[in-house]
Chains A and B, each alone.
Chain A
Amino acid sequence: MIFADLLFLYVFLPALIIFYILAGFADKAVCALTKEKGFAGSINPAKNAVLIIFSLVFYAWGEPFYIRLMLISIAVNYVFGLLITLKEKPSKAFFVLGIIFNIAMIGTFKYGRFIAENLNALGIPVPLPEAVSPVGISFYTFQSISYLADVYRGEVKAQKNPFRVLLYISMFPQLIAGPIVRYETIAEDICSRRITVEDVSEGAFRFFIGLGKKVILANQLSIISEQFLDGELSGLSSGGAWLGIIAFTFQIYFDFSGYSDMAIGMGRCLGFRFNENFNYPYICCSITEFWRRWHISLSSFFRDYVYIPMGGNRRHQPLNIMTVWLLTGLWHGASWNFVLWGLYFGIIIMIEKYTLLKVENKIPKVFLHIYSLFLIVFGWAIFYFEDLGRLGGFIKIMFGASGNPAGGIVAKNAFTVNLYLLIAAVVCSVPLGTLIRKFYDRTIKTSGGAAAMTVLKAAASAGLLWISTLLLVSGTNNPFLYFRF
């Protein structure tokens, strides 16, 4: 199941809300009872049970066969968590074994075919496995790795209750498209959480914002990008190539950050606080900064579990940087263009470290923005074309080296009929929301402001929900970019 889907919005979600509220009453009753008898209990087993069941249904809906793989993975990681902390001193052997298990699993099911293809290309005949790549495997495997690492480092205690590990890994808001939540972040929430009306208000609003980003912006932008990037390159004009890749630049941002917003919003409504995953990445002044703002949960994962353990900036830093970026690229997909894409950013970041970052303050910001955005957009071209031959052809067209025309009526027409959409995309990429937020927080304190702001907020939510619903009805055009990761 995906979030931007009518069945999810209008069947799954209402059902979950009803059962979750009922479970809340059950938990309260149990709590009151146990308190009377002298137990200190602020746990919520009924809510957790509802959440686990709905999460498993959510996952099985899209991946009815490979749900068993996820369940095995969770069981194994649960056991390893316990084994690592069996003795007073954490067991390095079990930790390493656990990591090997996770890497072997993702290696087999996500990269098996890619590895076999390349071995065959090198002349080593191995049978080609089917390309399966179970939904969300990159996310839940990484969460498992972070869990084992945090347990091994003693940052969290191993969870003795298997259902809580199950809930941590399989919780549906973050299950298939992140953010990559660390166990530490929600360990307390899992055991005992209180949901305030503020949580629900903030979370629901965040959800509608995310829904709008995904359905209204990303899905509509995908019509442009598909038109110009999926067709025949022979007739593509330079203008069309740029329009297509710029549309994709916005599309992937709104798609992914919209999904994160929905995840964070739903998590908040359910009583969990996930960390932010995006922070207006396209306003960055350098590529280094871009990656501090883009998919934060992934970059911080690699920082904390690969870069720093390898030695960070103390030992062979260039090697550490390139390793991290090779892995980042590969994480996005089992294909050479993703490797190339990762290394591309690794090299830029390395160069920036010794040049740009030292003189950043002396350069007017506008140049820094242009510089960063150019490299980002170009990066998305590498990201988009899995076929390296097509990528080469596309780059030639972008820079007018193909002999294709510069403009053309089709590109012009697509530009004008989508102009307001593109403007909206630009506006929503800058921290306008932060300004509105400040205004909101200030106004709501005034006497009449609270009512006005509430009406506005509710109207905006209803509008986003309604327009998204209309577009979901009309569009079978609902591609989900991060599914394959």
Chain B
Amino acid sequence: MDKNSQKSAPRYTEKKDKSSKGADVAYVAAIAVIFAAVSGAMVFMPRSRESVLEQRELAEFPAYSHESLMDGTYTAEISHYFSDTVPMRDRLMEMASAVQEFTGFRSNDIKLHNVTLAENTEETSATEETAPVTEITVISNGAVVEDTDNVSNAETEVPAGTEAPAPAVTQETTAAPADDAVSLTNNGIAVVGTRAIMLYGGSYSVGEDYAAVVEKYKKALGDDVNVYCMVIPTSSEFYCPESISSYNNSQLDNINNIYSHLTNAVPVDAYSALKDHTAENIYFRTDHHWSSLGAYYAAEKFAETAGVPFLDLSEYDMHTVEGYVGTMYSYTQDITIKNNPEDFFYYVPKNVELDTTYYNYKLGDGNEIIGMDEPMKSTFYLNFSNSKSMLYCTFMGGDAKITHVNTSTKNGRRLAIFKDSYGNALPQFLFGSFEDIYVIDMRYFTYNAEDYLKEHGITDVLFANNAFHATTRSTVNYYEKLLTQGRQPAETSAAGTTSAPAVTSAPAAGSDAKNSATSVTEIPEQVTETDIRKNEE
């Protein structure tokens, strides 16, 4: 550079310049090749269309409009599209999870994901909620879980006078029909060893309202119909280590509180049925659901309570799909979950004939109901062995539907189950106990519940919700709505005109009638994977 310094040490500078110039050329050439290769891959490789891991369809290229260009959304959506649909997205996400594991170590084998800061005091579970029902779509690590049926954080106690937390909080619109982005009383997720557990933050006051709405059904249906209430504990009740128990409310206390507010409806003690078997695989480690085995013990207790016959486990064929990694991986992106898959299993009765009819709801982009398909006959168990993260959809293919199963059991008992996704695992064990089973999701039902139950001659109604949902405000609102909807013009005309399509008069969508329950068929054409993904809870 400047002449003086070159003069003072000419040879030295000369040599440095030469060798470092060579090094610079080599370096620039190397990174140019690397950068060109990665850029080429990013731009020219086929873009990802959907994420199995996150269980959602990925962004689409935005439609152009002058307004969207001028307000910046058009370009923002292109940027979003480009990073959302990156080639081999799931594989890259998995590698990122592995990289993120290097940020530290797990003491006592525990990693907490988005655990709320408010430690529960001993009275927390009894305190009144002051928070509006909020629905946070940013789950752990800031990963936004869009459109999938969220198990979202919500209803943590927010002291009055403080502002709601900033990230993506939207007011839940309970008015929207069947908004299935359910808010759960969730305190975050703890990964303990290889098990992910969602910490429970339910509160008493909602539970009491839940009991009250169940009682309303009992009152509306009268003495001839049995109404049962089964609140299903989740894995955090049995597998939460002592060290984090202060962030995990007691589900037992909440369940007992709900049951103590039932007067005519009959409680079903699923809790003790499950508690006796915690050494067995009654909950999935990688998914927020219980397993079929857990459902078996709960169903046994229900059958006992309802006084119906019950088939022993030996009367079933057990089917197993290996390599199941459920929802907890997409929520936490915790590589430990991904690296420790488990078996998904379900039970098919050997000697019961099933005739299953689906009344599927069509859903819009916001998961709102926009219509209903023609009734369709298919099997109760669907094959999801090719999309393993959605194996829980094996039962009926998800939530957004009414399912009617006519069984070869003839005892005059006709059951309706009002449920969240936990309820999906129950019917498999009740086919030998009831003549007809109607499975109704609390979020997807457009008829008047009372009319519907009466029309179909229901003798038994089971409310089967997990403890999170049973203490979540939106659950109570759903059930309230099902009782009042569809009654507008005149109550008197309800019987005939607003009726649901009866099974007998159903157009023969799949007229091949009785499928044998023991053969698991492919997913019917009408049920696309997309529908199922949207429906799955």
Contacts and interface: CB of A to CB of B under 8 A. Distances in A.
Nearest to A424: B103
Interface in B1-47: 15-16, 19-28, 30-31, 34-36, 38-39, 42-43
A450 B247 contact: no
A230 B115 CA distance: 13
A481 to B, nearest CB: 14
Contact of B34 (A65, A450, A458): A458
Contacts of B409: none
B72 A458 contact: no
B97 A474 contact: yes
A445 B19 contact: yes
A interface bracket (residues with beta carbon within 8 Å of B): 35 or more
Contact of B75 (A61, A458, A466): A61
Interface string A335-346: 000000000000
A413 interface: yes
A232 B118 contact: yes
B75 A197 contact: no
Nearest to A475: B142
A234 B162 contact: yes
A230 B168 CA distance: 12
B63 interface: no
Interface stretch (A79-87, A144-152, A219-227, A374-382): A219-227
A391 to B, nearest CB: 13
Interface string A384-399: 0001001000000000
From B99, B117, B119, residue with most partner A Cβ within 10 Å: B117
A228 B116 CA distance: 9
Interface in A11-48: 11, 13-14
A232 B141 contact: no
B44 to A, nearest CB: 10
Given A453-B23, A474-B97, A409 B243 contact: yes
A470 B72 contact: no
User: What is the interface of chain A mostly: helix, strand, loop, or mixed?
Assistant: helix
B168 to A, nearest CB: 10
A465 B38 contact: yes
A474 B24 contact: no
Contact of A7 (B21, B79, B112, B244): B79
Contacts of B118: 231-232, 234-235
B191 to A, nearest CB: 10
B103 A232 contact: no
B92 to A, nearest CB: 5
A209 interface: no
User: What is the interface of chain B mostly: helix, strand, loop, or mixed?
Assistant: helix
Nearest to A60: B75
A477 interface: yes
A476 interface: yes
Contacts of A6: 42, 82-83, 86
B78 A473 contact: no
Given A64-B70, A197-B25, A223-B142, 9 more contacts: A14-B35, A60-B75, A200-B24, A201-B23, A201-B27, A408-B119, A445-B19, A458-B34, A466-B38
28 contacts: A5-B83, A6-B83, A10-B43, A60-B75, A64-B69, A64-B74, A197-B25, A201-B25, A223-B141, A227-B114, A410-B112, A410-B119, A412-B107, A413-B111, A413-B112, A414-B112, A417-B111, A419-B103, A419-B104, A420-B105, A450-B19, A450-B22, A458-B34, A462-B34, A473-B92, A474-B333, A475-B142, A475-B143
Interface of A: 1, 5-7, 9-11, 13-14, 60-65, 197-198, 200-202, 204-205, 208, 220, 223, 226-228, 230-237, 240, 387, 390, 405, 408-410, 412-422, 444-445, 450-451, 453-454, 457-458, 461-462, 465-467, 469-477
The 8 closest A-B pairs by CB, nearest first: A235-B118, A477-B142, A474-B96, A201-B24, A421-B103, A10-B42, A458-B30, A470-B96
